[in-house]
Structure 1
Amino acid sequence: MTNAVYTMIVRALSGVVSDRAAETMLRSVLREQGLAAETVTAQDMQKVLSGPLLARLSTVLPPARARKELLNLSGQLEAQYPKAPTLFTQNVPLATWDEPQTDTTFDDLGLSADDFEFDDPEYGALPTTRTYDLARAEDQDALIQTLGRFSGVQGIMVCRASGEVLRVKAVRDPAGLGGVVAASAMLFQKRALRLLSADLGGQTVCVCPLGGYCVAVVATSQANVGRLIVELQQLRVAA
């Protein structure tokens, strides 16, 4: 049974999005953070509101409005639970390659069809689409910059569907990432897929076909993979 903190937030969130979307969104974010609707505390919920849920809601609403709505919810929660103050800040996450480097490697990932899972369909049509002309170097760089803003992203590769690498940005030499794209391309040819996500323990690899192109992203286990998948779902190539 859900507790009072969860019930309070999901009811308030239902005034911003639909009842079903509020329930699905909040439960998904809690699950990503290792929390449960039955035991989440006010302190935990403040962290969720100012971080993961803000990122998720910003795919549904304009970011400024999403922040305003959740800041209001955070204030209500603080009023009822004074020992759990709001944690909203103005900090914007940087790409992982702008942070101190770690010992991460993409070699020998050993992917097969069984390693992949489908993305969550609940958020497929909600955010605004982003269109890029991937034949242009400027748009390739713009796509990498957009995806690189997500906390925990360690590598991004833009390729042709044939596997030819066009642009790459990563913490370390992403030699193994080319193998991910090659393995994924074979799966895309056999199945009508829009996106592949592989959980490799400490890393998650997401691969998205875009017409005659493909973008691959490697993220750490700390990344909000659900939010990243939602963003990848909205990518389009210019006609």
Structure 2
Amino acid sequence: MTNAVYTLVVRALSGVVSDRAAETMLRAVLREQGLSAESVSAQDMQKVLSGPLLSRLSTVLPPARARKELSVLSKQLESQYPKAPTLFTQSGPVATWDEPQNETTFDDLGLGADDFEFDDPDYGAAPTTRTYDLTQPGDQDALIQNLGRLSGVQGVMVCRATGEVLRVKAVRDPAGLGGVVAASAMLFQKRSLKLMSADLGGQTVCVCPLGGYCVAVVATSQANVGRLLVELQQLRVAA
């Protein structure tokens, strides 16, 4: 039977890759290190996270994303086992908005339907679907944090379809973004759409309707918008 350390790590890793990939990947690196899922200690697991598992995960995710995900996981392990501190020496924010940035706002954008690029509603390529109960503040925060870990993301906002802001995290005050979501929601009602994105010149806003809610993501112009749209397309609201 696997022990608590292994179970903690494999469950958390399953939020980054598929359940099967998490199990296969973790068991493989443990085996390479002469360790087992039944007896691995928290100290040994910290070495695995910052070394062989980081190397392996970096082959399926961008290296920066892999490091960030495992750094977060390593800190979770440390919180459960204080005598096994994280070995990630390059500390950094969990999400981009934890870093100081220059001030800007989203006021007076004057967006209309012609400013948006519409995604094909039949397109789907991501293997992992994530379900959130957006009536619950905890799930709203979890959704924001997961999207905030994607490279290039500078802000995430959860709103009602009317544009009423429920939760937001951003590198700077996203004034006016609620209005962008409200305007987007009206376009969603008129067309059969699942996603939309607007290029604001230096930044991109992506909006995804989720039942009676909307999620808006602000990303830099260097962000992989295609990847971001795929991630948004996998979001679901709990029934």
Taking structure 2 as the reference length, what is the TM-score of the superposition? 0.62
Alpha-carbon distance in 1 for matches of 2:104, 2:57: 37
Deviation at 1:156, TM superposition (A): 1.2
Q: Residue 92 of structure 1: SS of its match in structure 2?
A: helix
Structure 1's unaligned 5+ residue stretches are 1-56, 73-86
1:91 aligns with 2:67: yes
Kept after mapping to 2: 8 A contact 1:95/1:152: no
Q: Is the 8 A contact 1:158 1:214 kept in 2?
A: yes
- 1:148 maps to 148
Contact 1:96/1:148, CA 8 A, preserved across alignment: yes
Report how many aligned residue pairs link the two structures: 168
Cα offset for 1:172?
Answer: 1.7
Q: Which runs of 4+ in 1 moved over 3 A?
A: 61-65, 67-72, 87-90, 120-123
Which aligned pairs between 1:1-150 and structure 2 lie closer than 5 A? 62=21, 68=56, 71=59, 91-92=67-68, 94-119=94-119, 124-150=124-150
CA distance in 1, matches of 2:145, 2:58: 26
1:91–1:70 distance in 2 versus 1, CA, 3 Å:
closer
Residue 120 of structure 1: CA displacement? Answer: 6.3
Q: CA deviation at 1:118?
A: 2.2
Query: Which residue in the other structure is 2:233 paired with?
Result: 233
The 3 A distance-change label for structure 1 pair 71 and 194 is closer
State the 1:95 CA deviation. 1.6
* Displacement after TM superposition at 1:68 (Å): 4.0
Structure 2: 5+ residue stretches without partners: 1-15, 26-54, 70-93
Deviation at 1:58, TM superposition (A): 6.0
Per-residue deviation, 1:123: 6.1
Q: How far is 1:137 from its partner?
A: 0.7
- Hey, what's the Cα distance between the residues in 2 that align with 1:202 and 1:229? 18
CA distance in 1, matches of 2:140, 2:57: 33
Deviation at 1:149, TM superposition (A): 0.7
